[in-house]
Amino acid sequence: MTRPGRLGVGVVGTGRVGAVLGNALRGAGHPVVAASGISEGSRERAEALLPGVPLVEVPEVVRRAELVLLTVPDDALTDLVTGLGDLGAWQPGQIVVHTSGRFGTDVLAAARAVGAIPLAIHPAMTFTGTSLDLSRLAGCPFAVTGPNAVLPIGQALVVEIGGEPVVVDESARGLYHAALAHGANHLVVLVAQAAQALAAAGVADPGRMLGPLLEAALDGALRAESPADPSGDRGAGAISALTGPVRRGDDGTVREHVAVLGALGASTGAVDVLAGYRALARAATQRSLAAGLVPDAAATRLLDALAGGDTPDVTSATPAAAPGMTGDAGWLEQEGRPADDPSRGSDDGPTGPDRPQEDER
C-alpha cells in the first residue's frame, strides 16, 4: 500500500549523488518513476541503485515526475533549468530540487515562473556512488534553501532520508559553499603537502604516521566549534584546540620549519608547501592572538619568523614527481588533464536540457 504524501520522483543525472539520493527517497516510500543517465558509469549506477527505473530523456523525466531531483554539476545547472523552461517542461505545483552547494533557489527561476516549487538541498558530504553512501546519510547535515512557505517541504524530505536539515539563507549560499570547499578540499591539500614532506624525510608510510595526529586534531577542533552552551556561544572556537609551536610562541622552531621547507621546495620544486605553511602559521598566530592564547610579544616574534622571502614562482617550478602529480606534464596537472580542462569532474559529453552532465562529486 502506498503511504499518503508520497511523490513520484524523477532523477535528472544518475551520477554519484543522484543515484544515491534517488535510492534514499525510494527507501522513504517515494517511488522513482524515471531517471536520466548518459554515461556508462551513470547507467551502471542506475541499474545498481535504482533497479527497474526507466532511463529516459530529461524532458520525459520532468514530465513524469512530481518531485524532480536535479543532480548535475553547478556549471550546468542554469542552462539546464532555463532550457527546460524554454521547452515548456516545468509544471505548476511540481517540486524542483537541486543539490548544488553553490546555488540557492534563484537558479530555479524558470521553473518557479510557471508555478513550480523551488528548493535547494545540499548534502554536506562526499559520495562514492555506491550503497555505502546510504548509511552515511544518517545524521548528515543538509543545507536547505527556499521560500519560507515551502521550507518545511525541503526539511521534511531531508528528515525522511535520515539527514539533518540546516536552513541557509539565499544570500548566504555562496559563503556557505566557500566555507565547505575551503575546509574539505584544502584539508586534502594540506595532507598531501605534509605527506610529501614526511616522504622526503624518509617516512615510508606518511598516511599511517599522520593518521592519529590529524584525527585527534580534527576531532578537537570540531568539538570546539560545537557549542555546549545553550546560548550557542562557541567561545574561542576551534583555535582553542591548537597545539604546537605557534601556540607555545616558539619562534625558533617556526624559523627552522621555514628553513627546511624552503630547502624542500628548492630540491623538489614543491614550493607550495612553504607557501602554505607560512599562510596557515600566520593565520594561526593572528587567531591565537585575538583569542588571547599568545601574548603580543610572542605573536610579533612569530610573525617576524614567518616574514621575508618571496614565494617562488610556482608556474616555473619543475619538481620531482610526487603522488598525485605528473612529473613530465607539470605538477599542477591532475592525472594527465590540465587544470583548465573542461572535461574534468564529469564522465559525460555536451550538456543541455536533453544531455546534462551528472554530478560526480
Residue pointed to by grid coordinates 549506477: 45
State how far Cα 343 lies from the chain centre: 19
- Of the chain, the percentage scoring pLDDT greater than 70 comes to 82
Q: CA 134 to CA 211: how far, in whole Å?
A: 25
At residue 196, does pLDDT exceed 80?
Answer: yes
- Contact criterion met (CB below 8 Å) for 64 and 83: no
- Contact criterion met (CB below 8 Å) for 126 and 17: no
What's the full length of the chain, in residues? 361
Segment among 66-75, 122-131, 179-188, 313-322 with least mean pLDDT? 313-322
Task: Look at residue 229 in the predicted model and tell me its pLDDT.
Answer: 63
Q: What topology is assigned to 9-168 in CATH? A: Rossmann fold (3.40.50)
Task: Look at residue 335 in the predicted model and tell me its pLDDT.
Answer: 29
The pLDDT mean for the chain works out to: 87
pLDDT tens for 218-270 read 999 999 998 766 666 667 899 999 999 999 999 999 999 999 999 999 999 99
Alpha helix stretches (DSSP H) within 291-355: 296-306
| Number of helical H runs and strand E runs in the chain | 13, 7
Closest CA to 86 of 67, 65, 58: 58
Task: Look at residue 38 in the predicted model and tell me its pLDDT.
Answer: 86
- Provide the residue ranges of all domains of the chain, joining segments of one domain with +: 9-168, 175-316
Task: Look at residue 234 in the predicted model and tell me its pLDDT.
Answer: 66
Task: Look at residue 106 in the predicted model and tell me its pLDDT.
Answer: 97
pLDDT tens for 4-42 read 678 999 999 999 999 999 999 999 999 999 999 988 999
- All 3 cell numbers of residue 139? 545524521
Give the H/E segment covering residue 165: strand 164-167
At residue 271, does pLDDT exceed 90?
Answer: yes
Q: Which carries the bigger pLDDT value, residue 280 or residue 309?
A: 280
- All 3 cell numbers of residue 174? 555562496
Q: CA 286 to CA 290: how far, in whole Å?
A: 6
Mean pLDDT for 284-307 is 97
Task: Look at residue 287 in the predicted model and tell me its pLDDT.
Answer: 97
pLDDT band at 127 (very low <50, low <70, confident <90, very high): very high
pLDDT tens for 158-194 read 999 999 999 999 999 999 999 999 999 999 999 999 9
Furthest C-alpha separation in the chain: 72
Give the H/E segment covering residue 118: strand 117-123
Work out the number of other CB atoms within 10 angstroms of the CB of residue 178.
12
